[in-house]
Amino acid sequence: MDSLPDPSPDVPVELPQKAPREPILTLPGALTAYVLLIAVIHLRVLLPPELENWTIDVFGFIPGRYDPAPLDLFPGGEGAKLWTFVTYSLLHANLTHIIFNVLWLLPFGSALARRFGALRFFLFMAVTAAAGALAHLITHEHAVAPMIGASASVSGTMAAAIRFAFVQGSFLSFSRGDADAAAKVPALSLSRALRDRRVLGFLAVWFGVNIIFGAGSLALGTDGAAVAWQAHIGGFFAGLFLFSLFDPTPQVPGDAAPASSADPLNDA
């Protein structure tokens, strides 16, 4: 008797591969390290009150420290006149203050950290912090209240990021690529950026919000302390004008960086 063929031969079947799962939110390592540093430093609130106040006085930015004959109130000596231009930005009043700054850093700081790399990013944050402190010093001469918070640096990241945020394929354009590609698009020159109506709209809203909060003496999560809006503006201008010094991605020759195809630049 002839044997019948096996109706179900052992043929290897290739199962479809599952696509790798992408995390909901990925942060570049430099930004993650920056946020963790701020969080660790905030553990100072667990110190005894007198030691916590000493920490604020030594590492916060105090304009009165730079008076020709400063009051004998400020610990830290001559060294504090240097390091507080940056260290103040790593101190925060409370968790709300930290969360508010981090929420703004998520889109703008992430794009900038991917574009600059860790070393340039950290240096940029320090430079914009120092610019914010300088603006505060000029506008608050002799003040003895310490200024703390990363808002000047956050403002700097926002200003720097808008130099490329609306370019086609970038993170605020209508046709953006993946996070790394969106952060590496060629940037607009400063003159071209200041002719882009979306950049100008962003500038108008940003300055309007800061002036409203400053004029109304409104505080966001700082236990009633006034908003140091002049420092925000100092950091913002530093980020806007110094961006090209940190940017490793070359601009398109001839100042012709492409804009989003859904909303072309108006060169008129």
> Which CATH number characterizes residue 242's domain?
1.20.1540.10
For residue 237, give the 3-state DSSP assignment. Answer: helix
**Taking the chain, what is the end-to-end CA distance rounded to the nearest angstrom?**
91
- Per-residue pLDDT, averaged over 78-84, amounts to 92
Q: Considering the domain boundaries, does residue 260 fall inside one?
A: no
Residue 125 is assigned to a structural domain of this protein: yes
Q: Is the pLDDT of residue 32 over 90?
A: yes
pLDDT at 213 (0 to 100): 66
Cα separation, 211 vs 105, whole angstroms: 21
Q: How far apart are CA 131 and CA 239, in angstroms?
A: 9
Average pLDDT over residues 27-36: 94
* The amino acid at 138: I
CA gap 147, 63 in Å, rounded? 9
Q: What is the domain count for the chain?
A: 1
Asked whether residue 256 is domain-assigned, the answer is: no
Rounded-to-5 percentages of helix, strand, coil across the chain? 55, 0, 45
Residue 184: both structure tokens together: 């590496």
What is the rounded distance in angstroms from the CA atom of residue 59 to the CA atom of residue 61?
7
How high is the mean pLDDT of the chain?
80
Q: What secondary structure letter does DSSP report for 63?
A: G
252 falls within a domain? no
Alpha-carbon distance values, 131 to 212, 217, 224, 251, 257 (Å): 21, 22, 24, 25, 28
Q: Strand pairing partners for 259?
A: 167
pLDDT digits (tens, 9 = 90+) for 105-164: 998 999 999 999 999 999 999 999 999 999 999 999 888 889 999 999 999 999 999 999
Residue 253, domain member (yes or no): no
- Nearest Cα neighbor of 122 from 38, 192, 19 is 38
Cβ-based neighbour number of residue 74 at 10 Å: 20
The residue segments making up the domain with residue 242 are 29-246
pLDDT tens per residue across span 155-212 = 999 999 999 988 887 777 666 667 777 788 888 889 998 998 999 999 999 888 877 7
* pLDDT for 177: 62
Residue 251 lies inside a defined structural domain of this protein: no
Find residue 61's DSSP bridge partners: 147
**Looking at the domain assignment, is residue 80 inside a domain?**
yes
Strand partners, 167: 259
C-alpha span between 43 and 32 (Å, rounded): 17
Instruction: Please give the Cα distance from 65 to 62 (Å, whole number).
Output: 6
Which DSSP letter does residue 205 get? H
Predicted TM-score (pTM) of this structure:
0.79
Are 84 and 59 in contact by the 8 Å Cβ rule? The answer is yes
User: Is 266 within the bounds of a domain?
Assistant: no
